[in-house]
Amino acid sequence: MKVLVPVKRVVDYNIKPRVAADGSGVETQGVKMSMNPFDEIALEEALRLREKNQADEVIAVTIGPQVAQDVLRTAMAMGADRAILIRTDAEIEPRVVANLLKVIVERENPGIVSMGKQAIDDDMNATGQMLAAKLGWPQGTFASQVTVADSKVEVAREVDGGTEVLSLSLPAVITADLRLNEPRYATLPNIMKARKKPLETIEADSLGVDLTSHLKLVSVAEPPERTAGVIVETVEELVEKLKTEAKVI
Amino acid sequence: MTALVLIESEHGKIRQASRSALAAAAQFGDVDAIILGNEGIDAAAKLAGVRKILHVPALKSALAEPTAALLASLSSSYSHILSAASSMGKNILPRLAGLLDVQPISDVVKINDEATFVRPIYAGNALATVQSSDTVKVLTVRGSSFDPVAEEGGSASVEVLEAPAEDGKSSFLRLEQTESDRPELEVARVVISGGKGLKDESNFHSLLEPVADKLGAAIGASRAAVDSGFAPNEMQVGQTGKIVAPELYIAVGLSGAIQHLAGMKDSRVIVAVNLDPDAPIFKVADYGIVGDLFEVLPALEKAL
Ligand SMILES: Cc1cc2nc3c(=O)[nH]c(=O)nc-3n(C[C@H](O)[C@H](O)[C@H](O)COP(=O)(O)OP(=O)(O)OC[C@H]3O[C@@H](n4cnc5c(N)ncnc54)[C@H](O)[C@@H]3O)c2cc1C
Ligand SMILES: Nc1ncnc2c1ncn2[C@@H]1O[C@H](COP(=O)(O)O)[C@@H](O)[C@H]1O
């Protein structure tokens, strides 16, 4: 069974994003970019399936500009066998990402698409569910545990009320939550080896998918700033202020 | 224009986040609500401002596959389909959007007009205004951003719907729940959250609970506290946990990483207790105590 892992190149999670002065978006020029943290987890899970002999090939795929191949090299350094760059300079919304991924899924026929539950730039949390819908596959979103057995996968999901467990027939789409695993680091020898692994580039506009967005970004603004308040010396002073000044207790 | 809202019940009542989604939907025109399973139907029929309740008894485990298929079959009657930005809404609505080939809009915090919405991006470090050209708009909305509709006052008609035939590709096995008598995190007036600084699970309980009891507060946790096993996952507050905006948020022994702030910085009053005077949480706190939580929490319990 193949496992396909869509990975996105995003502003590193340690960087505090800055809104561009003209309100057109968030500054990405000269900012450290990394693989979306949830996608590292999704990739780690795929690698573990291969290590347990439940998968035989792990393929990383990204949709983005030429530089997005960085995250594919990282994915291969972590252990992915090969990678596909679907190249475009256009801003691609999750709906279009799902449509493009569908074409790749139909070509590669994976048993599992293992992806992040959300990209930490757009925070949309939608692409996996949309892809599953378009493929007519079952979905196991926000996964904190994945067990494959007998052409089925059992997925424990983090939900508002606790943990829900589903059984899905394969093929299926799984989206990773933070507690699914701890992703490994790419070691230097593996980074070297990854340079020789196959990276295929496909032009996004050659796949017969309409790349235009249905959702237009009108503007981006800073959220209202909170200002630091006061440091109080004692618990009594705190309680007093909460009662008489803030009037919350 | 008519909106359809997927609503959720808990202990026979309609969840507040769903009532907030109904309030958001009312900005578009008439509102119908759809509810799955057999709980909360009476409560749903009394909700203020709802025209019709669509009741789907068969879909009680709310699997995404049949639910999205059913919503898709109803979509031609609606201009907007909404739900709370809950784990259920976020599971089902994007799948519906996938079936309809529309771009869903997650975590809406403000509605400018029927097609223009504001939503946070980058863990709430920016607010994006977006405009949809889809004929059916699929949205999840943040409960804390819309005042919920009243629980009483309406008299909606109830129509029972058949569920579409299941394809057998997914099945519900079980739900593992942590029972608690405390108020629900997302709707509590006061929230007290603990972080890694509590050091272990037993401290987490023995130090936070007495203060929470005095304040009638819900208890939350940072990711590090959840990862370390101090608290179950559903208590996590933040970018990937719950979004809360209580009257009072007390952050204890947590540093205030941007991913945590994403879940609580819209609280009205924030209190922070931390040993480290440079902890980022103090940058958003209205009142801070620089000190050892092992001394501050027992003292706070006494002072309340
Ligand atoms: C993609 C992604 C998503 C994430 N989503 C979330 C999320 O939803 N929610 C979330 O919380 N985090 C999230 N995180 C993790 C986040 O980045 C931080 O790692 C996490 O919030 C840290 O938890 P903490 O503050 O409890 O621990 P730490 O950062 O370790 O802070 C512990 C604090 O306790 C203080 N302390 C220690 N001892 C005492 C004492 N005796 N008295 C008083 N203070 C003391 C220390 O000074 C320190 O400030 C996410 C990370 C990523 C990459
Ligand atoms: N441009 C992209 N290239 C590859 N994968 C993507 C891309 N955008 C989104 N994804 C995948 O979809 C997941 C959810 O993204 P989103 O729906 O945008 O929050 C991510 O964690 C990735 O696994």
CATH number of the domain bearing residue B102? 3.40.50.620
Tell me how far apart the terminal alpha carbons of chain A are, to the nearest angstrom: 58
Q: Which residue has the tokens 């008439």?
A: B30
Residue B21 has pLDDT above 90, yes or no: yes
CA distance B245 to B25: 21
**Per-10-residue mean pLDDT, chain A, length 249:** 98 94 93 98 98 98 98 98 98 98 98 98 98 98 96 96 96 97 96 96 98 98 91 97 96
Provide the number of structural domains found in chain A: 1
What value does the mean pLDDT take over residues B275-298? 98
Residues B22 and B96 in one domain: yes
- pLDDT in the model for residue B24: 98
- pLDDT in the model for residue B140: 98
Contact A101, A116 (CB under 8 A): no
Q: How confident is the model at residue B178 (pLDDT cuts 50, 70, 90)?
A: confident
Residues B47 and B122 in one domain: yes
Domain carrying residue B127: 2-160
Residues B94 and B229 in one domain: no
Choose the mutation target among A123, A135, A165, A232 for the interface with B, i.e. most B CBs under 10 Å.
A123
Residue B178 lies in a domain: no
Residues B135 and B50 in one domain: yes
CA distance A28 to A167: 40
- pLDDT in the model for residue B164: 84
CA distance A98 to B174: 29
Tell how far the Cα of B121 is from the centroid of ligand 2, in angstroms: 14
Residues B66 and B203 in one domain: no
Ligand 1 pocket by C-beta < 6 Å: which residues? A 13, 37, 120, 178; B 195-197, 222-225, 236-241, 253-255, 257, 259-260, 263, 273-276, 279, 292-294
ipTM of the complex: 0.97
Residues B78 and B205 in one domain: no
CA distance B20 to B18: 5
Residue B6 lies in a domain: yes
Given an 8 Å threshold on Cβ–Cβ distance, is B175 in contact with A178?
Answer: no
Half-sphere exposure of B124 (CA within 13 A, CB side): 21
Residue B298 lies in a domain: yes
Residues B104 and B190 in one domain: no
- pLDDT in the model for residue B181: 85
Contact A64, A88 (CB under 8 A): yes
Residue B168 lies in a domain: no
Indicate if ligand 2 lies below 6 Å from the C-beta of A126. Answer: yes
Residues B131 and B229 in one domain: no
Residues B156 and B193 in one domain: no
Residue B122 lies in a domain: yes
Residues B148 and B22 in one domain: yes
Q: How confident is the model at residue B165 (pLDDT cuts 50, 70, 90)?
A: confident
Strand partners, A57: A2
A225's CB contacts (< 8 A; 6+ apart) are none
Tell how far the Cα of B95 is from the centroid of ligand 2, in angstroms: 15
Residue B166 lies in a domain: no
> Which H or E element spans position B95?
helix B87-100
What value does the mean pLDDT take over residues B186-210? 97
> Which H or E element spans position B158?
strand B157-160
Residues B213 and B266 in one domain: yes
Q: CB contacts < 8 Å between A and B, how many?
A: 257
Given an 8 Å threshold on Cβ–Cβ distance, is A223 in contact with B120?
Answer: yes
What backbone phi and psi angles, to 5 degrees, belong to B11?
A: 50, 45
CA distance A60 to A73: 9
Provide the number of structural domains found in chain B: 2
CATH number at residue A228: 3.40.50.620
Domain carrying residue A103: 2-246
- pLDDT in the model for residue B17: 96
Residue B179 has pLDDT above 90, yes or no: no
- pLDDT in the model for residue A225: 86
Residues B199 and B149 in one domain: no
Residue B170 lies in a domain: no
Q: Does A101 touch chain B (CB under 8 A)?
A: no
Residue B89 lies in a domain: yes
Half-sphere exposure of A73 (CA within 13 A, CB side): 13
Q: Whose CA is nearest to atom 12 of ligand 2?
A: A127
